[in-house]
Each structure stands twice: as C-alpha cells, then as structure tokens.
Amino acid sequence: MSNQLLRVSGLSAGTEDKPILHDVSLAVGAGETHVLMGPNGAGKSTLGHVIMGDPAYQVSSGTIEFDGKDVTEDAADKRSLAGIFLSYQAPVEVPGVPLYSYLRTITQKRPELKMTARKFRARVGEIADQLDMGSSFLTRELNVGFSGGEKKKIEMLQLLLLRPKLAILDETDSGLDVDALSVVSRGIETYRADCDGALLVITHNTRILERLKVDRTHVMVQGHLVAEGPASLIDSIDEHGFEQFEKASAVAGGERA
C-alpha cells in the first residue's frame, strides 16, 4: 500500500444543532483512488467538507491528518495550500470576479505554480482546450450564468491547473448529460495520469467510475462508515443497491442504543 496521505481517525462532526458524522475512520494512500458511496443524506458530502475545513461544520472528536500533519484545526485556505482540493456538488456563483482573474490569483498563492503571465495564459488555454471550453469562458464572471455542466468543467480546469495532492470530488457527475460527463471524466483521467494525485470520489452513482481504476470503496449510511472493500464492492452495490448496508446500519444502531 502507498504511504498514507490522508488519515481520518474517529471523526465525529456536524453543525451546531445536528450531529452528522459518527466515529468515521478511513485512510487514503498517495496516488490512490477511493470511492465513498451511500444513499442520499448519508453524510458523504459532509465528510468531504469537513476534510476541507468548511467552517459550517464543527468537529466534536477525532482527527484529520494530511501529508503527515494534523490539520484538524486548520482553516480551509491553509488546507488548500497544503494540497487538498474540493470539487463542489453545486459550485457557487461569484459576481464581479472574472474567471481568468480568479485563476491567476489562486495560482499566485502557490509558490510551486507561479509562472509568467505568458506561460499562465498558455497553460490555461491548453487545459481549456482539453475540456472543450472556448476562450470566452475565461472572461466571464466566475460561474455566473453557467450551466451545470459548464460549472463542472470549471472545477476540472481548477483541478488540472492546481495539481493538488488530494482531490475530493463531491457528486461531480450530478446533473450532467452524457457529453458533459465524458468531458469531466476525461479531466479526472488527465489529473490521475499527469499529477499522480490521490482521489476521493463521493457519489451515489457509478457512472463516473466506469473509466477509473478504483483502489478502495467505502460505504456510508446515516453518518457511519458501514463497509469497506475493493473495487468489486461497487459491482455489488450496482446489483443490490444500498439496502443491505442500511439494514446493517439499523441493526448496529439498535445495538448501540
């Protein structure tokens, strides 16, 4: 197994008035692809946001270690600079901020990504071409008026530009048509091939996994990680759904009570 890049240990977290995650533990090795699956409302997205350091959630117990350091108390911007990337299920619109200016600003904060303006333009143009994005996208306000598929392409552009050590993709395939899904899948493949980064793919749908080599699969139900296994676990979920895990979680919940 690869050296552990991310280690989540005994993590419980939620909002001020609602516990969501309960004693969650998982580890992702450098360069590995992990999948987190489960029914809607299982807490999958919450885990991604807590790993990223979203201040909307509070950790009540447990730790998050990244690249050998405890980042449990670190702010989201510090985790981002350390090499964690979160692709949002519903990317927010930022009026008044041109996409190109935004991309230039965030790369300037990463010493290893600094480059001349000419090289930056060339690099962004190259990635945009890979993702079938016209140059007009770059002058538009960040995500304002973009379709769902276009917003996901912008997320992939950031992924390929920033080259993070760990990319958490939260329901990236949600609402995409076949063409947009193909482009996004191609972006993920390029990231894996060129950056050798680790992936944590959060989904309840297996379409986006068809072109990925998955190392480990995790299943979450009601804020608990209830199963872990190899890629073949995905086939079992495709065939039988999540009902088997929901029943197991209900039994375990009764025993805990």
> Mean pLDDT, to the nearest integer, of 168-187?
85
**Following DSSP, what letter does each residue of 127-145 receive, concatenated?**
HHHHTT--GGGGGSEETTT
Q: Any idea where the domains of the chain sit in the sequence?
A: 4-89+165-256
Q: Report the mean per-residue pLDDT for the chain.
A: 89
User: Contact at 8 Å (CB) between 203 and 171?
Assistant: yes
Across 37-46, 171-180, 181-190, 230-239, least confident range = 171-180
Q: State the DSSP code for 222.
A: T
Residue 87 phi, psi dihedral angles, 5° rounding? -90, 120
Q: What number is the average pLDDT over the span 176-195?
A: 87
Q: What topology is assigned to 4-89+165-256 in CATH?
A: Rossmann fold (3.40.50)
How confident is the model over 70-121, as pLDDT tens digits?
999 999 999 999 999 999 887 888 999 999 999 999 898 888 888 999 999 9
**Inter-CA distances, 115 with 33, 65, 96, 139, Å:** 29, 30, 25, 20
Distances (CA, A) of 66 to 37, 58, 140, 244: 22, 18, 34, 32
Please calculate the CA angle 214-206-34 and round it to the nearest 5 degrees. Answer: 30
User: 217: which strand partners?
Assistant: 35, 229
Phi, psi values for residue 199, rounded to 5°: -125, 140
Residue 250 has pLDDT above 70, yes or no: no
* pLDDT(255) > 50: no
Structure tokens at 109: 């904060």
